[in-house]
Amino acid sequence: MKKTRILSVILVGVVALSLFGCGAKKEDANKEDKNIKIGVSPVPHKEIVDVAKPLLEKDGYKVEIVEFSDFVQPNTALNDKELDANFFQHIPYLNKSNEEKKLDLTYTAKIHIEPMGFYSKKIKDIKELKDGATISIPNDPTNGARALKLLEKNGILKVKDGELVTAADITENPKHIKIKELEAPQLTLSLDDVDGSVINTNFALQGNLNPTKDALLIESKDSPYANILAVRKGTENSEKIKALTKALTSPEVKKFIEDKYNGSIVPAF
């Protein structure tokens, strides 16, 4: 009888421990992930996320911001689950990345618009652009096409119809403009060597250029190239992504964009 009693006690203990263990695992599985890792370009994206970060921290989230200096790594890192989200690109660029690199990314919100501008250290007015001048533009497909369309809109050249046009698609070039394609971060550095450059606002700001004061040409504020919060497909409705989206489209962020950039960058929400 003694042995039977001891065996019963042991069995009860084992069952209790197993039930406790299952309960702990279930509790861990249901526990909300409060860590957010977001990839950004330094300016203005990191500055904007810095404003949203305290709003998230109030709700118990820990936010890690990872800076990237190029347009390729943030999407690869997001797709490989090294990031929860990224904030550096517009919709056409995301679509092109998905297509070319077989990524599975989408976006939750449009955050702001950065009008692309034409800058020069050689001329003060676009009318001074000389025959045979060299203009540098981004070498990625979407921003390169965007730059050429800005030049077309201002009568410098003409390109064939299409979304992703390149220098090879120029149909009219009365000033015999030479197009030099460079990595986007190098465009501000190229200004000493070219007659002008079409530069994304984030890189212009990093190069101490003020789009509203220094750009000889600038995209209109109805540009379709809104910068977005990108995420992996299937994570859009997770609690932390919804919280991140809410923070980046908050009144606090909108006021910051309007006050800080004075029209050179405008809210898209």
pLDDT value, residue 81: 98
pTM, two decimal places: 0.76
pLDDT value, residue 212: 87
Quote the mean pLDDT of the chain.
90
Quick one: average pLDDT of 157-184? Answer: 96
Using an 8 Å Cβ cutoff, are 244 and 48 in contact?
no
Quick one: average pLDDT of 161-183? Answer: 96
As a whole number of angstroms, the distance between CA 221 and CA 218 comes to 9
pLDDT value, residue 187: 98
* Domain edges within the chain: 35-115+224-267, 117-218
Quick one: average pLDDT of 93-103? Answer: 96
Alpha-carbon torsion, ordered 90, 92, 93, 95, to 10 deg: 120
pLDDT value, residue 31: 67
Quick one: average pLDDT of 147-161? Answer: 97
Pairing state between β 35-40 and 62-67: parallel
CB neighbours (10 Å) of residue 183? 16
DSSP 171-237: EE-TT-PEEEEE-GGGTTGGGGTSSEEEE-HHHHHHTT--HHHH-SEE--TT-S-EEEEEEETT-TT
Model confidence over 3-26: pLDDT tens digits? 444 444 443 444 444 444 544 444
pLDDT value, residue 163: 86
Domain covering 35-115+224-267 in this structure, CATH number? 3.40.190.10
As assigned by CATH, the class of the 117-218 domain is alpha beta
Least confident of 26-30, 103-107, 148-152: 26-30
Distance of CA 7 to the CA centre of its chain: 63
Quick one: average pLDDT of 95-111? Answer: 97
CA distances from 225 to 88, 111, 216, 265 (A): 12, 11, 20, 12
Q: Report percent pLDDT > 70 for the chain.
A: 88
Q: Which residue has the tokens 């702001």?
A: 112
35-115+224-267 and 117-218 share one fold: yes
As a whole number of angstroms, the distance between CA 113 and CA 269 comes to 10
Model confidence over 24-44: pLDDT tens digits? 444 444 468 999 999 999 999
Model confidence over 173-228: pLDDT tens digits? 999 999 999 999 999 999 999 999 999 998 999 999 989 899 999 998 778 899 99
Model confidence at 262, in pLDDT bands (50, 70, 90)?
A: confident
pLDDT value, residue 25: 43
pLDDT value, residue 2: 44
